[in-house]
Structures are given as C-alpha cells and as structure tokens.
Amino acid sequence: MMMAMPNSIPKFENLDQENKHLREELTQLKEDKAKVIEKERWISIGRLAAGIAHEINNPLGFVQNNLFALDLYIQNFSQLIQNYHLLLESIAHIPEVKAALTKLKEIEKSLKIAENMVEINNAFTQCHDGLKRIENIVKTIRNFSQNESVSEEETEPYNINICVENAIILTKTEHRYHTDFITDYGDIPLIECNPGKLTQVFLNILINACHAIREFHSPDQQRGMIMIKTKAVRNQIICEITDNGPGIPEEIQNHIFDPFFTTKGAIGTGLGLSICTDIISKHKGEITLTSKLNQGTSFIITLPQ
C-alpha cells in the first residue's frame, strides 16, 4: 500500500519564507527606530543650541551697542583734539602758547598718541568684525534649530549656497584650527527644498571630512583643506565637497552609506551618511563619491532644479 506524502514540506518552505520576511521586517524596524532616535537627537541638539544662541544674543546686543557708542565717542574726542591742535597752531606766535604747544607735542610723542589712534581704530574694526561673526553664528544656529522642528515635507524656494554657508559656519566654530575652508559658490537658481534638512546633509558631510582630516594630519603637519564648490549644470545643481583627508578604502566605499556602518568605534553611530542619502533621495537627488587613498575624498551631491 502506498503511503501518502506528508504535506508538511510545503509548510516548512512557507516557514522559511516567513522567517526571512520577519528578519527583513526586524532589520527595517531597527533601522527606523535608530533613525527616529537620531532625529530626536538632532531636535534635542537643536533645542539646546537655540537656548544657548538665545542666551548669547542678549549680551551680544548690548556689547555691540556699547561698542558702537564707544567708537563714536572716541571719534568725537579725536575730532575735538584735532580742533584744539589747529587752534593752538593758529596762536602759536604767542611765546607762552608756543612753549606750551612744544611741551604738549613732546607728551604726545612720548605717549605715542598717533600710533595709539591707529591701534584704537584697528581694535574697533576687529571687535566689530568679531561681534558680526558671533552674530552670524547665533543667527545660523537659531535658523538651523528652527528648521529642525519643521516637518520634512515642508519645502520652499531656496538658494542652497545659503545652506552650504550655514553648515560651514556651524562646522568652522569647532574645526577652524585644523582645517581651511575654501568656497567657490556658483550662480545657482533657487530650488524647491527643505533648507534645514539640506543644511543637515552638508553639515554631516563637512563634519565627516573634518574628522577624517583630524585623524590624518598631525597638528605640526600641513593643515587640512576642504573645498566646497557649487554650480548649476543644465537642469541640475551640483555641490562638491572635497577634503584632503586619508581617503576611503575601496572595499568600504560601498558600505559607508549603510545605516550603522562606522569606522569610528563607539563615538560614531554610522547613521550620518544614511540620513544624508534619505534626505537627498527625498529631494530626488543623489550623492556619489570619488576617493583616493592618502589624497582625499569628494562627495558630489546632485539636486534637480
């Protein structure tokens, strides 16, 4: 008598399929969870930064106002002293005045008043410049943190040169001692985009470049260099970010965009570039790279106009 074949084999096949399916879903869930945590992290960083920026903004305001006032008062004094000089010169034929004038000129010389005036002007120019830079950093941080809470779907016509510049300002505060930033901004049209998200992309790529440079160049060696170039080509906008770091070995170039891939051990989450890919693909663009060992890496971001 023939035994009927158990019909459990197809069930095992189903189980295998289901197992595979569940494993894929679990991986996807892990990735989604990590991305939500990373997004929350950016939002918290944004809030913290916005708080600090707000605190800096108040004293910055009165320091700037006082500096402008001091600058003006010193110019007034300087103008008054010049008028005293002219007056004294005009009555220098009176012997007592002539003697007093000679004495005054000696004092002015010994106190180096003329040189001091030049230095005061230089100091004011540098202070105004320094405060302007702080003001820009504060503005950038505030813009960035406001954008962090904006939904990803919200877009507006924007010039991505501004996103790049904002990302550079945010990166420079920490890394300018090791790295020079060279920019070549093309004349590019506005594109419909989410400026905060694109700033986050440029920020991630710039920070990666700074990390790579920092590991590669010792402090007494030549400084690191990051070149950022934007241009409009046909119906695309291209942004190239090139560093002179160690380059990326060919065998890992295919993995660096994978979630959790990092060569930075515990300090890296390995999510930076995968988030960049996400954001850029939502903008219907792409990120590619070219890299040469011991020479550096270029990330090329292409966005449709």
Q: Does 272 bind Mg ion (CB under 5 A)?
A: yes
Nearest by Cα to 237 from 300, 289, 299: 300
Q: Which x/- pattern over 7-26 shows residues binding ligand ATP (rule: CB under 6 A)?
A: --------------------
Q: Does 212 bind ligand ATP (CB under 6 A)?
A: yes
Q: Does 208 bind Mg ion (CB under 5 A)?
A: yes
C-alpha distances (whole Å) from 83 to each of 89, 105, 119, 125, 210 are 10, 15, 21, 24, 54
Q: Does 179 bind ligand ATP (CB under 6 A)?
A: no
Q: Where are the alpha helices (DSSP H) in 149-182?
A: 160-175
Q: Does 47 bind ligand ATP (CB under 6 A)?
A: no
End-to-end CA distance of the chain: 75
Taking only Cα atoms into account, the Rg of the chain, rounded to an integer number of angstroms, comes to: 31
Nearest by Cα to 259 from 272, 271, 244, 268: 271
Q: Does 248 bind ligand ATP (CB under 6 A)?
A: yes
Q: Which stretch binds Mg ion (CB under 5 A): 6-14, 80-88, 141-149, 268-276?
A: 268-276
Q: Does 287 bind ligand ATP (CB under 6 A)?
A: no
Q: Does 296 bind Mg ion (CB under 5 A)?
A: no
For residues 44 and 53, what is the distance between their CA atoms, to the nearest angstrom? 14
Nearest by Cα to 301 from 207, 141, 164, 176: 164
- Classify 157 as helix, strand or coil: strand
Among 105, 112, 133, 264, binds ligand ATP (CB under 6 A): 264
What count of other Cβ atoms lies within 10 Å of the Cβ of residue 127?
A: 15
Q: Provide the CA 113 distance to its chain's centre, in angstroms.
A: 42
Q: Does 245 bind ligand ATP (CB under 6 A)?
A: yes
Q: Does 280 bind ligand ATP (CB under 6 A)?
A: no
C-alpha distances (whole Å) from 295 to each of 214, 246, 249, 267, 292 are 14, 6, 11, 24, 5
Choose between 41 and 105: whose C-beta lies nearer to ligand ATP.
Answer: 41
Nearest by Cα to 202 from 269, 113, 266, 287: 287
Nearest by Cα to 199 from 249, 247, 146, 236: 146
Choose between 198 and 271: whose C-beta lies nearer to ligand ATP.
Answer: 271
Q: Which stretch binds ligand ATP (CB under 6 A): 104-112, 129-137, 190-198, 267-275?
A: 267-275
Q: Does 261 bind ligand ATP (CB under 6 A)?
A: yes
Q: Does 113 bind ligand ATP (CB under 6 A)?
A: no
Q: Which does 195 bind (CB under 5 to 8 A by kind): ligand ATP, Mg ion, none?
A: none
Q: Which does 270 bind (CB under 5 to 8 A by kind): ligand ATP, Mg ion, none?
A: ligand ATP
Residues in the chain: 305
Q: Which stretch binds ligand ATP (CB under 6 A): 3-11, 61-69, 166-174, 269-277?
A: 269-277
Q: Does 273 bind ligand ATP (CB under 6 A)?
A: yes
Q: Does 200 bind ligand ATP (CB under 6 A)?
A: no
Residues that bind ligand ATP (CB under 6 A): 204, 208-209, 212, 243, 245-246, 248, 256, 261-264, 268-274, 297
Residues of this chain that bind Mg ion (CB under 5 A): 208, 272
